[in-house]
Structure 1
Amino acid sequence: MTKSISLDALWDSATPTELVFNPDRLSHLPETARRYLEHAIAPGTKLASAVRLKMHGEIKLKKWIPFTAEQVICWEHGLIWSATAWMNGFLPIVGSDRIIDGIGTMQWKILGLFPVMTASGTDITRSAIGRLQSESVCLPSVLCGDDVSFTSTESSDLDSNLHSSFVVQGERAELDFTIDRTGALKALKLPRWGNPDGGEFRDVDFGGILEEDRTFCGYTIPTRLRVGWYFGSERFESEGEFFRATIDDVIYR
């Protein structure tokens, strides 16, 4: 599979499975992990290997500008986020961020013709893998695997903290979740490779506030979110947040 693969081709590459979600198979997990997975996946739902999402929102490029986007996550190969953003309300910037089989790239063009940003290389790849790790919450079936470990940490009266660890695209993910009493995901955080201040690339706290969820095809996932760097600190609100999205439609394979 090449890095220039289309959204449709990535979607079609997913390998369907006949395995279904059975809560009885979670008995070995911490209570918080069971609560989260049982909220996220209805009993009897096929364990999907891919998800396709449509969304709209705002992205911060010096100032907030609107976008619409479609995204495919195929856990075996990676993800493509294809979007159109409008500068000054009318000038379209078209492009994609992707990580496919261990190769990350970014390419954006004004009017789809004139390049404004192209990026690739080891640092871009590592950062894109971090994005894929964080967006595992859109494909909760992958968090049911035997290769995923969960640890419950300290809890408050209202929310519980859950840590998950797994490997994807050759990089280990260390995700911290905040889960409410119903099992809904309220926040996530992880160290992600990046350089949000324009300096050297390094691990930076990355994450998001998940304000709403909805159910699609037996999966309940976050559908209104605010995401950015320096998550968990005051810098998130003042300079780190760069992505606000509402997910409008979701299908699974």
Structure 2
Amino acid sequence: MDDRPSARTAGRFAASTWAALDRPPGGALGSFDPGTLEGLPEPAVRLLTVAVPSGAELHRVVRLSMRGEISLGGRWMPFRATQVLRASVGLVWAPVVGGRLVRFVGADALGPDGARIEFRLHGRIPVVRGSGPDIARSAHGRLAAETVAWLPTALTPQAGARWAPRDRHRATVTLPGPGGPTDVEVVVDDDGALVELGLMRWNDAAHPPQLVPFGGSVDARFEAPGAVMVAGSGTVGWEWGTRGEADGRFFRYEITEVAFGASPAG
């Protein structure tokens, strides 16, 4: 899976952050033991039993390819993207948005050296550039949400995840992260499929920046290597679960490829 972006397309910060995230972990977590699910809320047991086969390696890194649409100024534009996510540490999302007439390249990045967003029109003209505490705080929430969606091995007690019950289909998972623990509510159906997730995420674009309901629906699952099940397609947005949910939707995705662990060049 050749997915690492170049500094020319994603920017130097994103490229260096990707390199920092896409490397072997310092210590092994071992393999998944279903016995560690004893005492967890029922939705967590169903989700992890289906998503993570017994004996599966507890990966900390996932690399993805995806396609979809993103809403920019009320206009839906197609995108293709690659992404790396390292549990509790950071992520880089590197898309190409649009087509021949209007095309944006760049990246959202969070890593050991902070967070930054940078996009350029046709790879040359800067149109979005931001960093600082608000960007980082928002990225911390995104990291937690996308860990739930695409790295189920990080949701196990062996990986440090903590679970609390809500009801038969809902539970809250607390994940460690660079900004401290983050709570994500998950909705799991009777067959163990993740169908929805939500959290209070810092919106750096709000006036003033503040915590706002954020979440997404999962329409299909994707069988990744090792029979690990991840979110395959869905919709994401702000004001999730409120009256403003329809207007807050801005991202539709479909996963096309998944690889766990650092790349051979990592």
Instruction: Tell me: higher relative CO, structure 1 or 2? Use CA pairs within 8 A at least 6 residues apart.
Output: 2
Separation in 2 of the partners of 1:13 and 1:25?
Answer: 25
Structure 2 partner of 1:178: 187
Q: 1:55 aligns with which of 35, 57, 66?
A: 66
Structure 2: stretches of 5+ with no match in the other structure: 1-11, 262-266
8 A Cα contact 1:175 1:189, kept in partner: yes
Corresponding residue pairs, total = 245
Structure 2 partner of 1:17: 28
Structure 1 partner of 2:119: 108
Kindly indicate whether residue 139 of structure 2 is the aligned counterpart of residue 152 of structure 1: no
Separation in 1 of the partners of 2:25 and 2:236?
Answer: 27
Q: 1:188 aligns with which of 184, 188, 197?
A: 197
Structure 1 partner of 2:128: 117
Please list, as runs of the form range in 1=range in 2, the aligned pairs for 1:5-44 lying within 5 A after superposition: 5=16, 7-15=18-26, 17=28, 19-44=30-55
| Residue 52 of structure 1: how far off its partner (Å) | 0.2
Kindly indicate whether residue 224 of structure 2 is the aligned counterpart of residue 216 of structure 1: yes
Separation in 2 of the partners of 1:47 and 1:211?
Answer: 25
8 A Cα contact 1:102 1:169, kept in partner: no
One-letter code of the match for 1:247? Answer: I
Q: 2:105 aligns with which of 82, 87, 94?
A: 94
Structure 1 partner of 2:3: none
8 A Cα contact 1:48 1:141, kept in partner: yes
Separation in 1 of the partners of 2:78 and 2:177?
Answer: 31
Q: 2:80 aligns with which of 65, 68, 72?
A: 68
Superposed CA offset, 1:177-209 (max 9, x none): 11000111000000000045x411111000001
CA RMSD in angstroms comes to: 1.9
One-letter code of the match for 1:27? Answer: E
Separation in 1 of the partners of 2:248 and 2:50?
Answer: 29
| Residue 41 of structure 1: how far off its partner (Å) | 0.6
* Secondary structure of 1:234 counterpart: coil
8 A Cα contact 1:3 1:103, kept in partner: no
Superposed CA offset, 1:148-169 (max 9, x none): 22112123xxxx0111123201
Separation in 2 of the partners of 1:3 and 1:28?
Answer: 42
Separation in 2 of the partners of 1:143 and 1:243?
Answer: 24
8 A Cα contact 2:163 2:173, kept in partner: yes
Separation in 2 of the partners of 1:6 and 1:111?
Answer: 22
| Residue 76 of structure 1: how far off its partner (Å) | 5.2
Structure 1: stretches of 5+ with no match in the other structure: none
Separation in 1 of the partners of 2:113 and 2:200?
Answer: 18
* Secondary structure of 1:34 counterpart: helix
Distance 1:15 1:56, change over 3 A: farther
Percent identical among aligned pairs is 31
Structure 2 partner of 1:205: 213
8 A Cα contact 1:129 1:169, kept in partner: yes
* Secondary structure of 1:171 counterpart: coil
